[in-house]
Amino acid sequence: MCMETVEVALDKRSYRIVVGRRLLAEAGRHVAAVLAPRPALIVTDSVVAQRYLPAVRDSLVAAGFAVSTITVPPGEASKCHEQLLRIYQACYDARLERSSLLVALGGGVIGDLAGFAAASYLRGLPFVQMPTTLLSQVDSSIGGKTGVNLPGGKNLVGAFHQPSLVLADVDVLASLDDRQMATGLAEIVKHAVIRDAGLFARLERDADALWRRDPALLESVVACNCRIKAEVVAADEHEGGLRAILNYGHTVGHAIEQAADIAAKHIAEDGIIYILGSGHSLITALEASGRAGGLVPIDIIFDKTFGKIERLPGYAEYLLKDYAIDGAVVIVVSNSGRNALPIEVAIESKKRGAKVIAITSLAHSQSVASRHPSGKRLFEIADVVMDNCCDPGDAVVDVDGVRGKVGATSSVACTFIINSVMVQAVENLVKMGVEPPVLISANLDGSDEHNEKLRSRYKGRLRGLM
Ligand SMILES: NC(=O)c1ccc[n+]([C@@H]2O[C@H](COP(=O)([O-])OP(=O)(O)OC[C@H]3O[C@@H](n4cnc5c(N)ncnc54)[C@H](O)[C@@H]3O)[C@@H](O)[C@H]2O)c1
């Protein structure tokens, strides 16, 4: 059988990642080669269980393991304490001991959840990862990060607990939907960008075949990504330095999800979202309000001076008197995050019970002092901070003979971020069973009626620009 093996070198906690085809049907043999047969609990979700649980269970039983199973609902919501407690109970019912085995059969949710159960039940059991999504095969099943979410945020409770074996069967990727496939490919592109230019070139060349889930190509690309992740984990197991590179893009991704969650809930409650773009950041506000593909209830807090007096303390109070921000959601966009206007809008909004979401450059902000009497910068006030990752000073290109840099980046970055929040908020609204008020381009025939109907719902509550 064709397969590749990658070693994760962590002294006594070293383990192998086996990547190949038809591995799940042979799971018992592979696991028994590492851990002698013993009582085992398979944790999976109901979607994966339907397709792959019988083969894995039969194979483990045939190899001599005494197998129990527990199935949780599919999706991120299962990465929670309620499901964790169910797994503990299943461990107890199956009379697992410290030498027994937990098997995580599923995507990253199952890997993190079952991994944390394995890290904590009886202070730690051996566990085996059998990742079934592309994301979990190239990323989450490797490196021992396990955990669950709290209502306030993702992965807030967890532990490092390395598996004894990872079995990545690329055949199961055939049943992934396109969205799930894209999620995994995004991680692969990330690995290529941070560690392997050759892989990046290969992805450009073979993108179509990968998308068609060509098994031979998948096997080699998954193995290549496992090597990248294994190398980083072996160099920095507990994320003291190098391993943080793997979080590339995640911090802003989580912030986008948090912002979208706040925005969707507020819109579902018939609220209005206000957005201030200080100075040039007005471009981002314009992108968010009254835009094709955007949400209707987004109103611009419009600074008619176009930033000319953004340093002036007290101006925000005058500006805000026309906006009903009490208990609302206020997005404040400011690249430097240091001027009085955005800071005061954020402080005043919070005073009036609004949630404040900032889009700002942390690199810039952290390198300068506040220009507001409070001494605070925008990122120190907001409830959610979305870092646009722009360089201090915004521009990035050196041109010979020119003092300073040329070519500002923040408008592009902030426009991308605000649209990402919008898309995620719309998805959330759909999941909540709320029809999202999304505008259709006025330049498409037949859109006027749709848009007018939506706007009439918010009549008199949106000031628009004028
Ligand atoms: N521990 C880490 O280092 C690490 C790294 C990255 C991400 N993560 C975590 O991973 C999670 C996301 O993982 P995910 O994207 O795999 O999501 P997931 O586990 O929720 O799986 C996505 C969906 O695909 C279904 N599915 C799984 N395998 C399938 C298959 N072969 N065919 C058809 N459907 C299948 C699942 O039932 C689920 O509905 C997040 O919670 C994230 O925080 C952890």
- Is 112 contained in some domain? yes
Domain end call among 248, 273, 296 = 248
| pLDDT at residue 239 in the model | 86
Q: 180 CA to middle of ligand 1, Å? A: 8
| pLDDT at residue 1 in the model | 56
b (16+ CB within 10 A) / e for 105-124? bbbbbbbbbbbbbbbbbeee
Task: For 406-423, write each residue's pLDDT tens digit.
Answer: 999 999 999 999 999 999
The best mutation among 23, 43, 112 to test binding of ligand 1, ranked by most ligand atoms within 8 Å of the C-beta, falls on 112
- Is 466 contained in some domain? no
204 and 219 in a single domain? The answer is: yes
12 and 140 in a single domain? The answer is: yes
Task: For 61-94, write each residue's pLDDT tens digit.
Answer: 999 999 999 999 999 999 999 999 999 999 999 9
Share of the chain above pLDDT 70, in %: 99
Which ligand 1 atom sits nearest the alpha carbon of residue 45?
37
Tokens for 304, please give them: 């008619």
| pLDDT at residue 247 in the model | 84
Q: 316 CA to middle of ligand 1, Å? A: 44
- Helix runs in 95-159, H state only: 108-120, 134-135
169 and 238 in a single domain? The answer is: yes
261 and 300 in a single domain? The answer is: yes
225 and 89 in a single domain? The answer is: yes
- Is 414 contained in some domain? yes
> What average pLDDT score do residues 418-433 get?
97
305 and 237 in a single domain? The answer is: no
10 Å CB burial of residue 275 (0-12, 13-18, 19+) is: buried
Residue with the bigger pLDDT between 245 and 200: it is: 200
> What average pLDDT score do residues 386-395 get?
96
| pLDDT at residue 283 in the model | 96
The best mutation among 46, 51, 79, 135 to test binding of ligand 1, ranked by most ligand atoms within 8 Å of the C-beta, falls on 135
Domain end call among 221, 248, 275 = 248
Q: 342 CA to middle of ligand 1, Å? A: 38
Tokens for 220, please give them: 């080699």
- Amino acid type, 260: A
Q: How many CB atoms lie within 10 A of CB 73?
A: 11
* Residue 466 pLDDT greater than 80, yes or no: no
Task: For 213-248, write each residue's pLDDT tens digit.
Answer: 999 999 999 999 999 999 999 999 998 888 888 888
Q: Domain range holding 257?
A: 251-457
Specify the residue for token string 């490196």.
Answer: 143
274 and 170 in a single domain? The answer is: no
Smallest Cα–Cα separation from 49: which of 116, 126, 117, 130? 130
| pLDDT at residue 465 in the model | 52
Residue with the bigger pLDDT between 264 and 3: it is: 264
> What average pLDDT score do residues 104-116 get?
98
> What average pLDDT score do residues 125-133 get?
98
For the chain, what is the mean pLDDT?
Answer: 95
Q: 113 CA to middle of ligand 1, Å? A: 11
- Is 211 contained in some domain? yes
Q: 451 CA to middle of ligand 1, Å? A: 37
- In order, the DSSP letters of 49-100 are HHHHHHHHHHHHHHTT-EEEEEEE-SSGGGSSHHHHHHHHHHHHHTT--TT-
Confidence of residue 249 (pLDDT cuts 50, 70, 90): confident
Tell me which residue has its CA closest to atom 42 in ligand 1: 108
Confidence of residue 152 (pLDDT cuts 50, 70, 90): confident
- What CA–CA distance (Å, rounded) separates 112 from 306? 47
Are the CB atoms for 42 and 117 separated by under 8 Å?
Answer: no
- Is 257 contained in some domain? yes
141 and 109 in a single domain? The answer is: yes
| pLDDT at residue 126 in the model | 98
* Residue 464 pLDDT greater than 90, yes or no: no
- What CA–CA distance (Å, rounded) separates 208 from 287? 32
Q: Number of structural domains, the chain? A: 2
- Reduced to 3 states, what is the DSSP secondary structure of residue 232? helix
Here the CATH number for the domain that contains residue 239 is 3.40.50.1970
Task: For 19-75, write each residue's pLDDT tens digit.
Answer: 999 999 999 999 999 999 999 999 999 999 999 999 999 999 999 999 999 999 999
- What CA–CA distance (Å, rounded) separates 117 from 142? 16
13 and 160 in a single domain? The answer is: yes
b (16+ CB within 10 A) / e for 155-177? beebebbbbbbbbbbbbbbeebe
333 and 215 in a single domain? The answer is: no
| pLDDT at residue 450 in the model | 95
Specify the residue for token string 């045939």.
Answer: 62
150 and 49 in a single domain? The answer is: yes
Instruction: Show the ligand 1 pocket: residues with CB < 6 angstroms.
Output: 45, 47-48, 74-76, 79, 106-110, 112, 132-133, 135-136, 139-140, 143, 145, 154-155, 172, 175-176, 180, 183
230 and 259 in a single domain? The answer is: no
